[in-house]
A = this chain, B = another copy of it.
Amino acid sequence: MSLSILDILREHPEEFVSGEYISERMHCSRTAVWKHIRKLKAQGYEFEAIPRLGYRLKSAPPKLNMQTLLTDLNTRVLGKQIKLLDVVDSTQRVAHEWVKEGAPEGAMVIAEGQTAGRGRMGRTWHSPQGKGVWMSLVLKPSVPLHLTPQLTLLSAVALCRAIKAVAPVDAGIKWPNDILIGGRKVAGILLESSAEDERLQYVVAGIGVSVNLTSTDYPQELREIATSLRIAGGETVDRAVLIRTFLQQLEYLYELYTEEGFAPIKSLWEALNVTLGHPVSISGATGVVEGVAMEIDDLGALLIKDNSGKRVKVYSGDVQITGNLPGQPGPGAK
């Protein structure tokens, strides 16, 4: 069909257009019209719908553009080369391929939407079009392999600080690098690294921030455990400003780390964390550990006092905070 719903609604910017009229113009059923509307909503278009009157196009999804992204970006390395894409399967996949073709440090892939966004531990990451920051960043840090977990914590500090700078929300870090607001997940980081012997070759950092999603943008199973900056802060956030702020924070912290080592990063992580001091349950490669999260060590591992009083060190795993979090009286966060 050559004529689209958007074309028809744009002919009547101030009016409501009936479903019947649209279905006649498009030579399709009213059910088909409704399905199209739903699809466009998933792409970030917003409509007003009034029974008997019909539909009105309220807003098109705001798109990122390169000009906006680069304005005021005063980093030295990060984000100096950007691939800005519409919808891809996964920005991580694109970035890994770019590395093989010679992407420089700081190269960045940003997509309006992802159809198969990657999360930790093989999970998918819900990335609706135009609603979030879905990006991958190529880093080539000169850090020995065994210190890579410190970069995981560093990136979490940068993202949490950037989020707090652009939105009126009380965000905190769940070990190692999830960002929560009121116990609900608002952002995640996935560091995929490649090494040759004890030498780190490159890292592709996948960053996902749920920025302007409304609760209907989430599938049912995520509504209780996820949030967005718009839901939590009550206002929409300019995604370009968030991306710029994050890159500036990350570059600043990486320089601090290079000059002064992990100690200042560790302090910043501790100040922002919502894990230490809480009862936790961690499922990792070696089973489930339950206890209280005590501290992190210089390798980024989490020290737990388990329920029998024994100290256990956890290097990786999925943390569930089983006690209450500030600002959240509910049953805990996943």
Contacts and interface: CB of A to CB of B under 8 A. Distances in A.
A311 interface: no
A192 interface: yes
A148 B149 contact: no
A192 B190 contact: no
A299 B145 CA distance: 10
A217 B286 CA distance: 49
Interface string A182-217: 000000001111111111000000000000000000
Nearest to A149: B198
A195 B198 contact: no
Contact of A152 (B148, B198, B301): B198
A120 B197 contact: yes
Interface of A is mostly: mixed
A146 B176 CA distance: 15
A194 B197 contact: no
Contact of A194 (B121, B152, B190, B192): B192
A177 interface: yes
A300 interface: yes
A144 B316 contact: yes
Contacts of A148: 145-146, 195, 198
24 contacts: A120-B196, A121-B196, A142-B285, A142-B286, A145-B149, A145-B193, A145-B315, A145-B316, A146-B146, A146-B148, A146-B149, A146-B315, A148-B195, A149-B197, A149-B198, A191-B196, A192-B196, A193-B194, A194-B194, A198-B300, A198-B315, A198-B316, A199-B285, A199-B316
Interface of A: 120-121, 142, 144-149, 152, 176-177, 190-199, 285-286, 299-301, 315-316
